[in-house]
Amino acid sequence: MSSRYRLFTSPSAFPNPQRVRLFLHEKGIADHFDEVVYDMAPGGQQRQWAHLKMNPWGETPTLALPDGSFLAESVAIARYLDQEFGGRRIFGATPLEQGLDTQWNDRIWVQVLYRLTTVFHVLHTGLGHKLELTHNPQWGEHCRKEAIAHAALVDRHLADGRAWLIGGDQPTFADITLCTAIAFSKFPVVNTPLDERFEHLHHFWKRWQERSSFRAAYRDGGALDELAHLRG
């Protein structure tokens, strides 16, 4: 048993573990974690028995706690760590901020990011034939349209000049989810770049790139040409 946290993740192009990685850097606690980065494909360690014993859902991120227990699901991990460690509350400081952050996070996760991950999985059989079970182009195209339609609503919300979704001067967790959704929309296989389509999402994406947390979290380049300069 380790006395430190171990975090099982994927390269930064994979948006869910990336939500937690960006959260850790935004919170300033990344040094507390030993990270194990799976290659996802072709290895597929996330679906092999050693990982399934920690997280039967076969997904990253998965957190191994120093007491030998496990926690999965990006929001659950980040919310736990936000409370467990001091410093800025990334999920919002007040009850209202927390409510607003959850509202925006749920909208963006369900209607934008999850749709884009479905595009990846069922339209392109994204993780390859060893790992993917379903090829369903019509469902993939439907999900792409849903993601674009809801991204338009988010873009309209940002049009009043606010920097971040709930209106503060620093990003909250919903902003992290939106950042990873934009990055994933630009992933060559998904190829639905939301920042090119929507003006305020473009500025939002640029705003994130000015943050040291972003540069640390995307230091493998995010599989995007425009972030290649971040590679260490």
Tell me if 102 contacts ligand GSH by CB under 6 A: no
Tell me if 47 contacts ligand GSH by CB under 6 A: yes
Kindly state the smallest distance separating residue 74's Cβ from ligand GSH, in Å: 4
Within 10 Å of residue 66's Cβ, how many Cβ atoms?
A: 11
Tell me if 60 contacts ligand GSH by CB under 6 A: yes
What type of residue sits at position 186?
K
Phi, psi of 224 (to 5 degrees): -120, 135
Candidate list 7, 15, 63, 182; residue touching ligand GSH; CB under 6 A? 15
Phi, psi of 29 (to 5 degrees): -125, 15
Residue closer to ligand GSH by CB (options 14, 198) is 14
Tell me if 218 contacts ligand GSH by CB under 6 A: no
CA distance linking residue 13 with residue 136, whole number of Å: 22
Residue closer to ligand GSH by CB (options 74, 102) is 74
Residue closer to ligand GSH by CB (options 44, 168) is 44
Going by C-alpha positions, the residue among 35, 56, 32 that lies closest to residue 46 is 56
Tell me if 36 contacts ligand GSH by CB under 6 A: no
Candidate list 25, 51, 74, 166; residue touching ligand GSH; CB under 6 A? 74
Total number of residues that touch ligand GSH (CB under 6 A): 15
CA distance linking residue 97 with residue 174, whole number of Å: 11
CA distance linking residue 140 with residue 119, whole number of Å: 4
Going by C-alpha positions, the residue among 130, 158, 81, 232 that lies closest to residue 179 is 158
Give residues with Cβ within 8 angstroms of 76, minimum separation 6: none
Q: How far is CA 83 from CA 78, 80, 91, 92, 127, in A?
A: 9, 5, 9, 11, 34
Stretch that binds ligand GSH, among 54-62, 95-103, 194-202, 213-221 (CB under 6 A): 54-62
Residue closer to ligand GSH by CB (options 30, 127) is 127
Residue closer to ligand GSH by CB (options 16, 185) is 16
Residue ranges in 116-135 that form contacts with ligand GSH under rule CB under 6 A: 127, 131
Please report, as ranges, the residues that interact with ligand GSH according to CB under 6 A: 10, 14-17, 46-47, 58-61, 73-74, 127, 131
